[in-house]
Amino acid sequence: MSVLSFAAISQKLSLSRRLFLGGSLAATALPAAARAQEAAPSANLGARQLPARTLPVPSTVSEGLQAVIAEPYPPGWNALPADAAAWKSLAVKSAAGAAPAIAAIRQHFGLTVEQTKMGGVPVFVITPQEIAPENRDRLFVHLHGGGYVLFPGEAGAGEGMLMAGYGRCKVVSIDYRMAPDFPYPAALDDVMAVWGVLLAAYNPRKMAIFGTSAGGALTLAAILRAKAEGLALPGAIAPGSPVADLTWSGDSIMANAFVDNALVSRRSWANAAGALYAGQNDPRDPMISPIFGDFTGFPPAILTSGTRDLLLSDTVRAHRKLRKAGVPAALQVLEGQSHAQYLSPFLPETEDAFDEIMQFFNKHLA
């Protein structure tokens, strides 16, 4: 299916295609306290006032990606639900908004998707028409994004389907429990329950764990948890644009504010969603914000972000911390892309990103 046909499908929806990538709609204005929180860093010593400027769409990317970069901010990006019922309504809308993309990816690659349970946790087992010879004994475990609140059910499996299609590999996508009903540690508990089941059936050195945004943070947190519990680690991981720091302290949070056209700024729903997930727990807990954990002994890792990504700093900081811990780690930063836009289906840049990840896996997996 072409990019144009995919865009035509998406334009018929009441939700933006960016809902599939991590944007959202909401109904309530952001509280004044949150607006003040974003403004506060400007009072820091040495803070720099920037002149207003027009940011052009780069000519250095494909025409399909140029169209994605040119899109306006998601409707309601700086609004957030007023209560638990509104958050759950938003999750339902996110699934509806992702549905056409999910169907298009499945059809494009001819994937078989089976819903089942492992360790009592719902999962989607994704199998391409042909598995590459080097991947026949391997398994790739996917942890979806969406701020720990969005993309329930098959809606969360899109990235896993892209990996199965581009990488010609078998993928298990975990439909973990989410806030507001199930804040931390429910999602991580579910990931570990599935990991325990898979360890009984597969050689861990032939498995990889990957995911983007909240899924990237969960990937890192799962390794910290497995280390703490003495469990075998996967042969490699691929955390994409991880929400590695729920204190939202990285430089790009401010430097790429209003440059990123997916998350836009720290005033977005994603900040509130992270707080909802953390609940009463310290956001600096490494199992919640893995950037504060010990990365010693981590498996080889490839991290992905974009030059306009609001969470570029989280990705860069995690990469440097892995390197300092002596972990083989690669970093790909994609031209012009905002948060998680390398998940835009069928663009050449998307295929390149997944090819790079698969090359890394081929190098490090048994």
- Indicate which CATH number applies to the domain containing 250: 3.40.50.1820
Is residue 9 situated within a structural domain?
Answer: yes
Percent residues over pLDDT 90 in the chain? 85
Residue-wise pLDDT for 119-172, tens only, equals 999 999 999 999 999 999 999 999 999 999 999 999 999 999 999 999 999 999
Residue 365 tokens, joined: 């997996």
- 352 domain residue, yes or no: yes
What is the arithmetic mean of pLDDT over 293-317? 98
At 186 the three-state DSSP class reads helix
Q: How far apart are CA 87 and CA 128, in angstroms?
A: 34
Place of tokens 């940011």: 55
pLDDT band at 79 (very low <50, low <70, confident <90, very high): confident
Per-residue pLDDT averaged across 186-201, rounded? 98
Q: Between vectors from CA 258 to CA 74 and to CA 78, what angle results, nearest 5°?
A: 45
User: What's the mean pLDDT when you consider all of the chain?
Assistant: 91
pLDDT for residue 4 is more than 60? no
Contact 246, 288 (CB under 8 A): yes
Report residue 37's pLDDT band, with 50, 70 and 90 as the boundaries: very low
pLDDT at 168: 98
Tokens of 207: 């498995």
* pLDDT for position 334: 98
Is residue 81 reached through a cis peptide bond, with omega within 30 degrees of 0 on the bond before it? no
Q: How many CA atoms lie within 13 A of 274 on its CB side?
A: 26
- Give the list of residues 6+ apart from residue 39 with CB closer than 8 angstroms, or none: none
pLDDT (average), residues 260-284: 96
Neighbour count for residue 14 (Cβ, 10 Å): 10
| pLDDT for 15 | 36
Q: For residue 77, give every residue at least 6 positions away whose Cβ sits within 8 Å of its Cβ, in sequence order, or none.
A: 23, 24, 263, 264, 268, 269
Task: Decide if 77 contacts 269 (C-beta within 8 A).
Answer: yes
63 burial (CB, 10 Å; 0-12 / 13-18 / 19+) is exposed
Beta strand 207-212 with 236-240 is parallel
Separation between Cα atoms, residue 80 and residue 28, nearest integer Å: 5
Is residue 33 included in any domain, yes or no?
no
Residue 49 belongs to a domain:
no
Q: Is residue 38 part of a domain?
A: no
- Is 42 exposed, middle or buried, given 0-12, 13-18 or 19+ CB atoms closer than 10 A? exposed
pLDDT tens digits, 81-125: 999 999 999 999 999 999 999 999 999 999 999 999 999 999 999
In a domain? residue 36? no
Q: What is the pLDDT of residue 30?
A: 37
Q: Beta-strand (E) ranges in 93-133? A: 112-118, 121-127
What is d(CA 218, CA 277) in angstroms, rounded to the nearest whole number?
Answer: 12
Which letter, b or e, does each residue of 124-144 get, where b requires 16 or more Cβ atoms within 10 Å of its Cβ? bbbebeebeeebeebbbbbbb
Q: How far is Cα 38 from Cα 58, in angstroms, rounded to an integer?
A: 27
Question: Confidence band (pLDDT; 50, 70, 90) for 43?
Answer: low
Indicate if the pLDDT at residue 32 is higher than 80: no
Q: Is the residue at 351 inside a domain?
A: yes
Record the pTM: 0.91
pLDDT tens for each residue of 48-74: 998 999 999 999 999 999 999 999 999
Please say if the pLDDT value at position 343 is more than 90.
yes
Domain contains 52: no
> How many domains does the structure of the chain reveal?
1
DSSP 231: P
The domain of 244 spans: 3-27+60-364
pLDDT of 41 over the 60 cut: no
Query: pLDDT tens digits, residue range 7-24?
Result: 333 433 333 345 455 443
In the three-class reduction of DSSP (H, G, I as helix; E, B as strand; rest coil), residue 236 is classed as: strand
CA distance 273 to 148: 7
Distance in angstroms (rounded) separating the CA atoms of residues 313 and 311: 5
Tell me how far apart the alpha carbons of residues 250 and 289 are, in angstroms, rounded to a whole number: 12
How large is the average pLDDT for residues 298-325?
Answer: 98
Provide the pLDDT for residue 44. Answer: 76
Q: Which two tokens stand for residue 324?
A: 């300092």
pLDDT exceeds 50 at position 326: yes
| DSSP one-letter string for 30-89 | PPHHHHHHHHGGGGSTT--PPPP---PPPSSS-HHHHHHHTSPPPTTTTB--SSHHHHHH
d(CA 186, CA 303): 25
